[in-house]
Structure formats: structure tokens, C-alpha cells
Chain A
Amino acid sequence: MALTIISLIKQVPLPSEMRMGEDGLMDRTKAKSIINIDCQFGLEAGLQLKKQYPDARLVVCSMGPRSFEVALRTAISMGYDEAYLLSDRKLGGSDTYATGLAISTMLRHLGFTKDAKEPFIILAGRQTSDGDTAYVPSQVAENLGIPQATFVESVNADGKGYVIAKRIIEGGYQMMKLPIPCTISLTPTGIPPRKPSLIGAIKARNLPITVFGIDDIGLGTEKIGINGSPTIVVNVVNIVSERAPIIMSVGHDDATLVNNLISNFNKGSNVVAKKEKVEKKVSEHPDFPVVDIRNGAKGILTWAETANGEITRPSIEILTPARNLADQLGNDTKIMTLLIGKNVKHLSQTLFEYGSDEVIVVEDDRLEEYLVLPFSSIFAQVIKERKPEIALFAATTSGRELAPRIGVKTGSGVTADCTGLEIGEYINRKEKIINRPILHSRRPTYGESKLATILGFVYPQISTARAGTFEVPPGLIGRKGIESTFKPILTGDEFKVEILKTVRGEGSLQNLFEADVIVSGGRGATSDSLGLIKKLAETLKANGVNAEWACSRVVVDEGVAEYAHQVGQTGKTIRPKVYIAVGISGAIQHLAGMKESEKIIAIDHNPKANIFHFADFGIVGEYQDILPELIEQVKGGFTFGIVPVKK
């Protein structure tokens, strides 16, 4: 009974050379391609498992144009044994829902079903750099009806038919035990992908790759491609940064540089000259009949995620767009919030105060910690009964696996990591009708350089919203709502995954959202393992400033800091009053996570570091020399303009 390890990979354009077609869809013809970075980590995880199971068969699968064969051959040259490609023009324009469906259909065709006799493990990357949703692994798992763990950093087999996965969560991690078969998606923080070997490349050169069309695997066209997908991209615009030019410190020694920084900071940053907004030409609004395709669906459903017995901040934040959407929909649209857990009922009042009209409580001792299988099942049951038109989730590590899994159950498209949610319409010029009202979900994409608007046509329309993007709504003490209970039907199968351990560290995510000053270290600040970064944050704290330390992705990759301290990349935008970037070059994902900060100070030895283009104040110098000076200044009472709270 040999184990099969299946890696799902996608070929993506090199991030620096992203190009887009006129229609807003990815144009893959113009750019150099690589295997998506996260998928490379998935490939490596498979090769690591092979060390435990020397007899394991390593299979790599992809879906996309024929040119994806290059990526498959690279996987072979790294050590994989077989390669399959699903390639069909009819798949063009597929969204995540359709992609998950197509890939799982291919896997079933290859014999990898829930009830297969031979054991298998599906590995995938957490998310792709061109799509950035993190949804497909969940959708594949749901389509196959097997358990999953996403955002996993390392994966081991326990030798008794189970997989032990370390899943990254906000502020810490969970150790999970999954039965085989299962699907695991890997973060790019585990063991880095190996290089191909020459012997592997020679093998890859001659190995035939099996290419399937949709007919070969028995996949119909009704739910795939641009016409079958439940969501479409309607608009893509460039994101333009609007920060005023930086003020660099001048001086020939570290003390002068720091003094100069402080005096510049106190004087204030440059102000960007306001450009007159050019009136956009409004294209002619056709006089088509308005069609409401909601078919009776009504209301907005949100999820109240809990951690450490509290409702998490991102779950409260989404009540802000939920309220806006309810207001825009009018007609007495209600916000319903689903609260699941053990002894969580008392948290309803908080939700009422922040804007929920109804809290649907599900209590079960087995549901103390979030688990994707029972939670998605409960959601599907609630949705079936209540028929909401919109379901919103915070784009946390849980929200981003739960929402797509629910979407497969309801047939809905799911929009990922949104930063804007509005009610609008869709002018269908082909059928000469206007769909209204319809949810417009906006999300940054293509490495944060573009903002895409996505519409869904299946109800409920499901979106996840990027944490930190929306403000916490103003609470209304004593506001009342309806509390109801819901009794879901749950089977033993839904509890097949066991959480062995949950570790939530001190501080981290929550603190990053709330801190006034964040001191963040990049690759260029790791020679003392972020010692000076932490010390500056500590010194600020000791002086009554709400400060926290953070870091860039590479620092987490190198194992210097926990994932929870990472700024950038995964669904997390922070907006402190002051952000101090030390030794951070300014990768686009990092900038996306912090560019909303009120004031940005950059310290780096490289005067050409990209970060200086996005900062208000800058010092060129070695952080080992600059930070001690700055720490002394803080001890002397400098608090970056934050009024200290005396303890």
C-alpha cells in the first residue's frame, strides 16, 4: 500500500514582470514564468515526506496552458515521478471555484477519491502570486470531500496513517493531526524548495507528461471557464501611491543623523500636492430593464471568529462594511452574525453593540477551537435556512479557508482579501439587462499593483475582507438585537481532524493592529536577531507608548521571528501612527501591509532601497549604529509625537 503524494502547482509570471491583458485577465504570453513560490514549498514538502516514505510515488499536477509543461518538468527534475496537466481552452477565465472543481475532477479521474484504496496526500501552495486568493486548496478538498489543513508550515507523517501539520494562525500556530487522504497547503516559510538536479533534468527531458482536456476527465462546461464561473472580473485599475517625497537626514555621524531625524520629524513631513481630479467620462448608461437575480435571498451573514474566549478584532471590523452594505441595500436589510463555539453565548451583546442585528449562536463542546469541517458544515446549513444574499468573513487564516469551503457547498464564487465592498449593478450588454443590486468586491491583485473589481452571480455572494482595512465600528453601548440558537447536524466525519495543540504567543497580531508605533526589522536588521528592533519597541513601551515590534517576510522565512509578527503578504494591513522600517528593502508585499501608516521612517544602509520611495523620513546608515542613538533619544523623552500614557 504505497503512499502517493500529489503536488498541485501553478506556473506564474515572474512577479517583477507581471503583465495584464486588456480584459483584466492574466496575459501569460509576455512574461517569464516560474513555479509559484508557495507551490515550490509544497513540492519540497512532498520531497521531505518521501524521506519518511521511500516507496512513495510523487505525482505533480497542474492546470493551465500547454506552456505549464515547463513547470511540470521542473518538478520532475527536483525529484517527482509523474506529471499531469489539465489543459483546455474552455477552462480559460475560470475563477477559483471553477479551478477547484476542474482540478478535483482531474484528481478523481486519476483515482484519487475519498474512498480510494491507496492512501494519498495532496499538497499545494498556500496561494499564488498572480491570483493571491489561497482558496483553491480548500475548494479541492471540499470537492473531494476530504479534510484539509491550510497555511501549513511543516508536515510530517506519524507513521500510523496520520499527517501531523503545523498550521500558522494569527499570533501563533496549531499542531493538527489529519487522517489520510487529506489536502495540505503550504506557506512559504517551511523548508525552501531544492534546486533541480542534473540527473532529474535528464529524466524530465524524456518523461512523457499526460495532458488531459476536459472531455478526457468527464468535466462539463457549465461550471467552468469565463461563462461558467460564479464570479467575473469587471474592472481593473492601477494603484497609485500618494506619499509625498521623503525627507532624508543629513549628517556625518550617527548622532547627528538621528538628531536631524528628530528635528525633521518634529517639523512634519512633506505634503503631497493635491492634484485636481479629472472628471471621468461616464460611459453612457443604457436603458436596459433592471433584473433582481437574488431570488428572495436577503440579509448579510458574518462570522464572529473567537480566540482566547474573545471575538477577534477583524470579525468586528467586518461589521463596518456589513453595515454600509445593509444601508445601501436598504429595505430593512439585517446583519446576521454566526457565533460558534463552546460557551460563547455571552459574546452576543458585544456583537449587537458593534452592529449585528441578529446573532445566531451554535454551542457545542467539540467546537471550542475552530475546525474547518464542522464550521463550514454549520455555515452551509445556516445559509440554506436563512438564505442571506451576502456572506462576509475576515480574511484571516481561518476565514480564508472557511469561506471557499462554504462556497463549494453553496455553489458560490468567493472573492478574496477585499479592501472595498459596495453595492452596485452589472450592465449585461449581451443580454441587454442590468443586474441590480449586486455586490462589488474590490481587491488588490498582481502583487498589490492593481485593484480589481469582482462580481458574483450566485447567492450568497461570499467575500473575505482584509484585516485592518476597515475601521472597528463605533460601538453603541446597550444596543439590542435578536439572539437565536441553531442546532446543526454534525457527523463524526466532521471531527476527523484533531487539534493537538494551539499556541498563541504574546502580543503579535492584535497588538500590531492597535499599536501607535511599530518598529519593524527586515533582512538588513537580523544580525542581532532583531535585538535592537525589540529593544527600541521595549524602550518606547517603557516610556508609555503603545509600541510593538514586527518584521518583514524574509525574517520569518529565516526563522528569526514568528509568522504572526510578519507585516505584508497575507491579509494583514496595519496602520499605526508611526512605522519605523529598519533594514527593510521595501518588497511590494511588505509595502502593501504598511503603506497606510500615518508616518513612515526608513532606516537602511542602502541609499537605493525601495523603501525610501515610500517613507516620510529616512536615514541612510547601519542600523547597529543608528538604533542605539535612537534608543537613547527615546530614553531622553522622544516619543515620535505620541502622547505617552503614564502607568
Chain B
Amino acid sequence: MDNIDTVSTDILIIGGGPSGLATSIHLADALKEKGLTHRILLIEKGSSIGSHILSGAVIKADVFESLLPGVDFSEIPLNAKVTSDATVLLSEKGAFKLPFHVPYMNNKGNYTASMSQICRYLAKKAEEKGVEIYTGFSVSEILYKDGKVIGAKTIDTGVDHNGQQLENFQPGTRIEAKLTIFAEGTRGSLTKMLIQKYKLDQNKNCPIFSLGVKELWSVPEGNIKPGEVYHTMGYPLNLKEFGGGFVYGLNDNKVAVGLVVGLDYEDPAFDTHDAFQAWKTNPFISKFLKDGKLVEYGAKTLPEGGWYSIPKLYTDNALIVGDSAGLVAMPALKGVHLAIISGMLAARTAALALSRNDFSESVLSQYESSIKESVIYKDMYPVRNFRQGFENGLITGAIHFGTQLITGGAGFFGKLKTRPDSETTKTLAAFKGKPFSERFKGKLEFDKVLTFDKATDVFYSGVGHDEKQVPHVRFNNPASFDTINIKQYGATEQYFCSSEVYELHTDKNGHQELRIHFENCMHCKTCDIKSPGDGITWSVPNGGNGPDFQNM
């Protein structure tokens, strides 16, 4: 321990997404206002800011006016303002444009955007305000002292698959902080530990997620107008599966397409990537992509448990913000503005704590009470039961949603519970639905023009991992993995993973094993969420590893 380097800071922010960056910017502003100077360190595991950022995205942009007062709005690298917005019901070949907006789905006044770009812009602003940003460093460990968080440590590099030190071993750096802010994004690996250690999820619903896969295309002029926005329902999902597709027209003849699927589905062979490819073959969608070129691919999970799944967001010396806190408003699936607001609220609390030099719960609890008075509450509380209502499919979900609209979100059944996504997958024996391969018969041969296999798509995410390191995905119980995950669930991991990390290998003698190609990992964390049995734990790989998103 003696030879480990230690850095001291006042504030440590783990994660350089919208919430972490907003925290740093607003805190720097608040401190300046109070005439205080404190060190703010922000650590991002991606090789650069934005490289691990993916979002649809249609965002509520007015939030930037409060985050960056005095900044010319046109300076913010938003994409096109939404010009038309429609919800379309799809069948395999058909499309029906709904003549009305689904409640909460109106995007008037919103903007399409690349969150990678916006984050790069925010990082520049943060650095101008004195925030120290370090990219390409993975924080793998929370540091505790006397049972309290005192900072975090970056990962040791230069180790082999078993963690043995190699000649080029480089020990991680200890970062001691008065206040550590967890802004790791969806299913944060440290946040998960923090929640477990301090039981921050006590009396809360468990978090549930959906998985979004997205492609960015460059298309011929005229395929779609900038600001033209479509959300689709129906195909390729059935009535029991929650989710839908999106098509966002962007500037410069770019178009973002994607499919978001609730991870509470039952079919162990369900493959979101493949379903997304099938979705693109619907003529309503394919016309936007005609003669176009795939530019980028990526995947991300979204926490959609809603209000009741938000854990307690503070403990002594620590706060949780953004997606790590589960702040996504349903059914619009909007989290960016909430992430930014949570960051700003956390910043105000942090400023207060710094001015009092008190980082205990008694001061930090102010963060949670401020959330209850904010847009976060306003956007999330009325739909607090929305997502749970869909557990048994679209029809009951719609009925629940109808009653919730009348009752201000309560519905007729009070607080609806959630079930972990890992428990909803059925075993091969128990699953009675149409097999996935038959549902999409003829759609799973990818032509590499409109549709792409996973390996090709993964190439378009720019993903890369150091070969020499401890694999960052780990079977929690290798013994039960064979008997439960492979035998009973048919290695559902090979299907749900949209970056081909898991490959089921059958040898000559018929013995099967699940091989891990962690080098393909897009850091969406679906495996940590959806793997049945004893499951899989996702932790951070070496810094700078993972996808290299440019405009996602």
C-alpha cells in the first residue's frame, strides 16, 4: 500500500457523461459565486469525453439555459430542432401513422442531438471553469475508512488474465476526496457496490432496464429532413414485449435509427440486435436508409424502473447522479435533461457541504429533498407506475397507463412492484412462444447493405480492449453457469449481448462452453442485468478501453 500514489481532491466525480459534467460545471460556478476555490477532479473511463456516450437522442434543450447561463444557445452543438414528430404503428411490412400523440411523447420544441458531441462541448466548458478532467482512467474500487467512503482508486494495469503483475505493471492511483459523486451512467459498477454496501435500495423497487441499440447512417439528400422524428410501436416486438423504434433525421444527411427493448422479455433466444435489423427491413424504415451508409453502431441500457426504483441517492461523503441514479422519465425515455438537473442539484448540495466542510448525510440529504422539488419529481412521479404496468404486456400496460392518466399516476392498484430483469427470462423448457428464429425467418440473413451481423456492427463502434487484463465480465458462479445458463437457458447471453461478447462453443464431443470475447464489449452492461441464474458481474476494464463513439 505504501508505494501506491495518492492524489487528494475536494470533489471526485466518477464519470464524464451529462450528469457528471453538469455537476462539475454547476459546482465550479457555485463555488465561484461564493468566492471559494476547491479542486474538482472528474475521471472518465472512455479514451476521450464522449467516446462512451450514446443516446437517441431527442432532448429537452432548455435545460442548457439553466446549466450554462449567459452562454449563447447557438453555441451548444445541438443538432436539428424537431420539425415533425409522429408515432407509427408497424407490422412486418406495413405502417400506420397514429393521428395523435401518445401522452408524454410530444417532442415539440425539442432538439435532436449527439450526446457524444454535447459532452465534448460540456467538457470544454468545465475545463474553462477550472475542472480537471482526466480521460482514459477506469475507477475500479471505492475507498472506505471507518465505514465511510473516502474516495476511489483507479484500476491496476499491467496484469495478466489472472491478475498477476506483469513487468509493465502500473499500480492504480488512490484518489482521496471529501465528496465522491458517482456519475457512472446506467448500471454503474461502483454505484452497484455502493448501493449494496449501504443498502440504499431498501424499501425501493428493484431497478429494471431496457436495451437500446442504435445505428447512425449517412444517407442521400432527401431521404429524411433534419428534425423529422418518428417513434415506432409494434413490429418487431409482440404484445408482450415492451419497447419501440426511433428514426431521427439529423443535419448533414445523417439519420439515427434504433430499437429500445425492455429487458423484462421472456424469450431466452431474444436478440435485440437481430430484432433491430429485422425492424429496418420494414419498408417504412428502410426507405429512410436507402442507398445510405452505416457510420456508427452502439448499444446502451436505460434504467426505466422509474420513481419507485430510485435508490437513496446519498450516504456520508457520496452522492449518486444521472443514469446511475435511475433518472429516466417514461414513457418518453428521456433522461438527459434529468441527468443534467440531478448534476446541478448535486452540485448545489456539494457547494453547501464544502462551505460548511460537512459531508455527512445530514447535509447531503438536502440533495434528495431538492430533487423532490425539481423537474425530476415533476417528470417522474406522475408516471411512477407506468413501466411496471407493462410487465404483462402491452394491452394490460395500456389499460394501466389509462387509469394512471386519470388518477395522476396512482392507477387503481397503488405502487406497482418490479421484478429483476434476470428473473423474467424463461427457461428453454418453460418458454412457449414462437422461437425467435421462426418469428424472424428470412430476416436473420444479413445483407451487409441494409442489415448487418453483430461482428460487422461492432466494428462500427470502434471498440477495443487491452488483451492483457483480467476479463472484466465474470461468471458469478462458473459451476452453476453450465448447468443453469447453458443447459436450461440455452446460453441466452449469446443472444442478448449486442456486441458478440458471448459465444457458445460446442466441441467435437458435444461439450458446450460459453466463451467470452470481452474485447468486443460496448459497456452496455446488459449481461450484468439480464443474465439468469447466478448471473454475470460487469466491472470496469482498463481505462481507455471500450467503444469509441464519435457522434452517438
- CB within 8 A of A202: which of B132, B166, B168, B171? B132
Which residues, 163 to 196 on A, are CB-close (under 8 Å) to B?
191-196
- CB within 8 A of A48: which of B137, B167, B544? B167
Report the separation of the CA atoms of residues A193 and B544 in the bound assembly, to the nearest whole angstrom: 14
Report the separation of the CA atoms of residues A254 and B506 in the bound assembly, to the nearest whole angstrom: 13
Chain A residues lying within 8 Å of B43, measured Cβ to Cβ, are 198
A202 lies within 8 A of B7 (CB): yes
A47-80 interface code vs B (CB 8 A; 1 in, 0 out)? 1100000000000000000000000000000110
A600-626 interface code vs B (CB 8 A; 1 in, 0 out)? 000000101000000000000010010
- CB within 8 A of B170: which of A191, A197, A202, A608? A197
Report the separation of the CA atoms of residues A431 and B467 in the bound assembly, to the nearest whole angstrom: 55
A198 lies within 8 A of B137 (CB): yes
The answer to whether B175 has its CB under 8 Å from any CB of chain A is yes
B418-455 interface code vs A (CB 8 A; 1 in, 0 out)? 00000000000000000000000000000000000101
B171 lies within 8 A of A44 (CB): no
B157 lies within 8 A of A199 (CB): no
A195 lies within 8 A of B542 (CB): yes
B167 lies within 8 A of A195 (CB): no
The answer to whether B134 has its CB under 8 Å from any CB of chain A is yes
Closest to B503 in A: A605
B456 lies within 8 A of A608 (CB): yes
B508 lies within 8 A of A625 (CB): yes
A201 lies within 8 A of B134 (CB): yes
A305-339 interface code vs B (CB 8 A; 1 in, 0 out)? 00000000000000000000000000000000000
The answer to whether A386 has its CB under 8 Å from any CB of chain B is no
Report the separation of the CA atoms of residues A572 and B45 in the bound assembly, to the nearest whole angstrom: 39
Chain B residues lying within 8 Å of A48, measured Cβ to Cβ, are 167
Which residues, 444 to 497 on B, are CB-close (under 8 Å) to A?
453, 455-456, 466, 468
On chain A, the number of residues with a Cβ less than 8 Å from chain B's Cβ atoms is 22
The answer to whether A205 has its CB under 8 Å from any CB of chain B is yes
Closest to B168 in A: A194
Report the separation of the CA atoms of residues A618 and B392 in the bound assembly, to the nearest whole angstrom: 48
Q: Of B7, B157, B170, B171, which is in contact with the most chain A CB atoms at under 10 Å from its CB? A: B170
Closest to A48 in B: B167
The answer to whether B154 has its CB under 8 Å from any CB of chain A is yes
A195 lies within 8 A of B5 (CB): no
Given A197-B172, A625-B508, A191 contacting B132 (CB threshold 8 A)? no
Report the separation of the CA atoms of residues A209 and B438 in the bound assembly, to the nearest whole angstrom: 63
Chain A residues lying within 8 Å of B158, measured Cβ to Cβ, are 194-195
Report the separation of the CA atoms of residues A625 and B137 in the bound assembly, to the nearest whole angstrom: 41
Given A198-B175, A199-B173, A193 contacting B134 (CB threshold 8 A)? no
Report the separation of the CA atoms of residues A180 and B443 in the bound assembly, to the nearest whole angstrom: 67
Chain B residues lying within 8 Å of A608, measured Cβ to Cβ, are 453, 455-456
The answer to whether B185 has its CB under 8 Å from any CB of chain A is no
CB A271 to nearest CB in B, in angstroms, measures 25
Which residues, 533 to 552 on B, are CB-close (under 8 Å) to A?
542-544
Closest to A198 in B: B173
Given A198-B134, A199-B7, A193 contacting B168 (CB threshold 8 A)? yes
Closest to B173 in A: A198
Report the separation of the CA atoms of residues A212 and B533 in the bound assembly, to the nearest whole angstrom: 62
A195 lies within 8 A of B508 (CB): no
The answer to whether B136 has its CB under 8 Å from any CB of chain A is yes
Given A202-B134, A608-B455, A194 contacting B7 (CB threshold 8 A)? no
Chain A residues lying within 8 Å of B466, measured Cβ to Cβ, are 195
Given A195-B542, A195-B543, A201 contacting B169 (CB threshold 8 A)? no
Report the separation of the CA atoms of residues A211 and B342 in the bound assembly, to the nearest whole angstrom: 43
Chain A residues lying within 8 Å of B544, measured Cβ to Cβ, are 195
Report the separation of the CA atoms of residues A30 and B222 in the bound assembly, to the nearest whole angstrom: 28
CB B14 to nearest CB in A, in angstroms, measures 12
Report the separation of the CA atoms of residues A608 and B454 in the bound assembly, to the nearest whole angstrom: 11
CB B537 to nearest CB in A, in angstroms, measures 22
CB B541 to nearest CB in A, in angstroms, measures 11
B168 lies within 8 A of A197 (CB): no
Chain A residues lying within 8 Å of B137, measured Cβ to Cβ, are 196, 198, 201
B5 lies within 8 A of A199 (CB): yes
CB A555 to nearest CB in B, in angstroms, measures 13
Chain B residues lying within 8 Å of A47, measured Cβ to Cβ, are 168
Closest to A554 in B: B467
B7 lies within 8 A of A198 (CB): yes
CB B516 to nearest CB in A, in angstroms, measures 15
Closest to B542 in A: A195
Given A205-B132, A625-B508, A194 contacting B455 (CB threshold 8 A)? no
Closest 9 CB pairs of A and B: A198-B173, A199-B5, A194-B168, A195-B157, A194-B170, A199-B173, A191-B167, A198-B154, A198-B137
* Complex A-B: 10 CB contacts under 8 Å: A194-B158, A194-B168, A195-B466, A197-B171, A201-B134, A202-B132, A205-B134, A254-B508, A608-B455, A608-B456
Known: A44-B168, A197-B154, A202-B134. 13 other contacts (CB 8 A): A191-B168, A194-B157, A195-B542, A195-B543, A195-B544, A197-B171, A198-B7, A198-B43, A198-B137, A198-B154, A202-B132, A254-B508, A625-B508
